[in-house]
Amino acid sequence: MKIAVLGTAIVGKTLAEKLSALGHDVMIGTRDPAASRARTAPDTFGGPPLSAFLTEHPRVALGTLAEAARHGELVINATSGAGAVEAIQQAGPANLEGKVLIDISNPLDFSRGMPPSLTVCNDDSLGEQVQRAAPGAKVVKTLNTVNAYLMVAPGILAGGDHTMFVCGDDAAAKATVTGLLREWFGWRDVIDLGGISMSRGTEMYLPLWARLYGALQNPMFTIKVVR
């Protein structure tokens, strides 16, 4: 499948690597491809710079946000929360028309230190903002409750005995994404919360996630909905 991954940070690279390894035709989209390629410093989490990543993964292409959005039959928004809406605008609503758009972004605000607060919550969400920025796309919010490594390999923690959530206004798109989460990554317990406004619930879990990260001193955790 032709897949676009918007964003070059740890989430974008981890997804691009996994999806390319599964045989998909992946293009990463970024605001300024030349500038992204020119960076030589490690990324925020100490990972290799994008140029090294692209050398190691020659089948992964790099383009602008709009080029990637045009390339993808399915588009994944893995940009940072602060830039997510602008990234979707640059990707171009017309390029996203009718496509499934998986939104992983979280509205985290680190400007006042750790733990982060949210830039939007309670009566709106980033998932809804992304849907409004690309009204013709079928936005499905998911994967935003775990770190990048768990997104693509839930089985590395407790054999995958934990829970993922999906929400979105298009039932068929949610069913597609739920199937892909199982097939691509091995997610076994996926709960459909309802429409895209349910993003408020999974995004407002992030303040608890951040505090658990502080208490456990390790990001390799998540929640299982016990019922």
Considering the complex, what minimum distance in angstroms separates the CB of residue 49 from its own copies? 31
CB closer to its own copies out of 69 and 167: 167
By CB under 8 A, residue 157 contacts its own copies: yes
Which backbone phi and psi does 141 adopt, to 5 degrees? -85, 125
Give the H/E segment covering residue 17: helix 10-21
Considering the complex, what minimum distance in angstroms separates the CB of residue 118 from its own copies? 6
Considering the complex, what minimum distance in angstroms separates the CB of residue 154 from its own copies? 10
By CB under 8 A, residue 123 contacts its own copies: yes
Contact string 194-213 vs its own copies (x = CB under 8 A): x---x-xxx-xx-xx-xxx-
CB closer to its own copies out of 69 and 210: 210
By CB under 8 A, residue 84 contacts its own copies: no
By CB under 8 A, residue 171 contacts its own copies: no
- Who contacts 157 (Cβ-Cβ below 8 Å, separation ≥6)? 150, 220, 221, 222
Interface pick for its own copies out of 162, 174, 185, 187 (rule CB under 8 A): 162
The helix/strand/coil state of 8 is coil
Give the count of residues interacting with its own copies (CB under 8 A). 37
Q: Report the chain's C-alpha Rg in angstroms.
A: 16
- Distance between CA atoms of residues 193 and 191, nearest Å: 6
Considering the complex, what minimum distance in angstroms separates the CB of residue 204 from its own copies? 5
Interface pick for its own copies out of 115, 153, 182, 184 (rule CB under 8 A): 115
By CB under 8 A, residue 224 contacts its own copies: yes
For residue 173, CA distances in Å to 76, 79, 151, 196 come to 13, 21, 19, 12
Considering the complex, what minimum distance in angstroms separates the CB of residue 60 from its own copies? 31
- Who contacts 54 (Cβ-Cβ below 8 Å, separation ≥6)? 37, 60, 62
- Distance between CA atoms of residues 196 and 184, nearest Å: 23
**CB-CB contact of 7 with 90 (8 Å):** no
**CB-CB contact of 195 with 166 (8 Å):** no
Considering the complex, what minimum distance in angstroms separates the CB of residue 165 from its own copies? 8
What is the binding site for its own copies (CB under 8 A)?
115, 117-118, 121-123, 157-158, 161-162, 191-194, 198, 200-202, 204-205, 207-208, 210-212, 214-216, 218, 220-227
